Structure 1
Amino acid sequence: MTTATPSLLGTSLGEIATQLAGATRVLRQYKLDFCCGGHVTLEEALASKGLDAEPIVQQLQALTAGSAEQDWQSRPVEELIDHIYQNYHLLHREQLPDLLRMARRVEAVHGDKPGCPVGLADHLQAMAIELESHMQKEEQVLFPMLRQGMTAQAAGPITVMQHEHDDHGESLQHIIELTDDMTPPPHACNTWRALYLGLDGLRNDLMEHIHLENNVLFKGALNA
């Protein structure tokens, strides 16, 4: 029987991610979705995966309050937007073309081998197009509105962006399914292994990106 703190179990994953330094690392370790699934409580998320709450709660309780994400909540919105653009929008534009190139090579050379992620390249290409469209809408429409303090008018665009974040989460889930959770088979070549390592990086970066927008930037604007 678990002795986990009830208040922590009843807290949403998004709140935990923004209030505890290092929490995103722990949540990723147990594959708990704190970005698109940030509204789900820790207790609900653990139950859905059949995980024992005690060791996870102990790890979270050991973290120091006042994370970098928590700091963003008190910083100017312009600074947060600049951070998202510089550290995530520009990063994704570098990541996806390289991952797409490696995926096409792996499928072309190893398509007949067990475990080859057939269809991954096409999926990454579609994902890159969707993500680029999403980021452009933020850069050209939503971010300028938030910079100007037009929070009431931004409610509609924010809802659209949140729905698209859910779509990005589904795209990540499909990558996980195609790649056996980014686990290369024993016979995988160096390109194959580098591809999966890069995909894992993309997953972590995109989750942090969506988390900062959903749980900090958008939440702050809607509560203004």
Structure 2
Amino acid sequence: MNTHIPDPELWERTVGDIAATLPGATAVFRKYKIDFCCNGDLTLDSAAQRRGVDPSALEHALEVLGSGVEGAAVPAEMSSDELIDHIQACYHEAHRRALPELIMLSRKVEAVHREHPKVPAGLSDALRQMQSDLEEHMTKEEGILFPAMRQGADKFDISTSDFRHEHDDQGTQLRLLESLTDDFTLPEGACRSWQALYVGTAQLAEDLMEHIHLENNILFPRFAATESPA
């Protein structure tokens, strides 16, 4: 039996750094509800304590990573241009595809099941606000920030710290979605529309967490020197 104990420095590293450099770590963090995107600056030890996670279980889950992920794309090893392309194709476009359908489904579920004690009242409003905020955010990235990064600009018109603040707001919106849906838990006998709504909203939340992580913990730090005071 393998009783290898991981390097103790693992607990001193931030969850954002671990998520960025250890393939498969983001799935582990999602399983244990460790926020590796908006709170990626917490050390692994602090994040586990804050969430009330069993440290030994989290340690073991990270220890066994590696099998089954060989050959997988590692965003931290991509060039900045490749990473930007990846973010736009896999996350920006995914959000734009998903949100209109989820808004429609949530309106339907809230109307048809308005008397149900588990109805996610207010979910459609929350999703519409998220759609509006995300579209503004992504448009600024695509039109201003990403082109400046690609061109190696000496200074950005909008600081990445502004985008990080918006990411924090998106994290708050994600927690609202979790609250309104009881952590995406379906009631007994939920109709197919309700099932599709929660499956889709859970996927949106997972995608957005990964999106924020890639920018906060991998892409933005590469340009920290660009934004340092002269």
TM-score grouping bracket, smaller chain normalisation: over 0.9
Quick one: distance in 2 between partners of 1:15 and 1:213?
12
CA displacement 1:78-132 (0-9 Å, x = unmatched): 1111111111111100000010000000001001101100010011101100000
Give the one of 100, 104, 109 matched to 1:101: 104
What residue ranges of structure 2 are gaps of 5+ in the alignment? none
Q: With structure 2 as the length reference, what TM-score do the two structures score?
A: 0.90
Partner of 1:189: 191
Aligned to 2:85: 82
Q: Which runs of 5+ in 1 are unaligned?
A: none
1:102 counterpart SS class: helix
Alignment partner, residue 145 of structure 1: 148
Cα distance in 2 between the residues matched to 1:92 and 1:78: 20
> What is the match of residue 118 of structure 1?
121
Cα distance change on mapping 1:67 and 1:146 into 2, 3 Å: farther
> Aligned residue for 1:161?
163
Equivalent pairs counted in the alignment come to 220
Name the amino acid aligned to 1:24.
T
Secondary structure at the aligned position of 2:214 is classed as helix
| Structure 2 residue matching 1:73: 3-state secondary structure | helix
Contact 1:21 1:67 in 2 (8 A): no
Alignment-mate amino acid for residue 93 of structure 1: R
Over the residues paired in the alignment, what is the CA RMSD in angstroms? 1.9
Distance 2:123 2:34 in 1: 23
- Closer, same or farther: CA 78–157 of 1 in aligned 2, 3 Å: same
Which 4+ residue blocks in structure 1 deviate beyond 6 angstroms?
none
Distance 1:155-1:49 versus aligned 2 partners, 3 A rule: farther
Q: Work out the percentage of aligned pairs sharing the same amino acid.
A: 45
Match of 1:104, as an amino acid?
A: R
**In the TM superposition, what is the alpha-carbon distance from 1:6 to its structure 2 partner?**
3.0
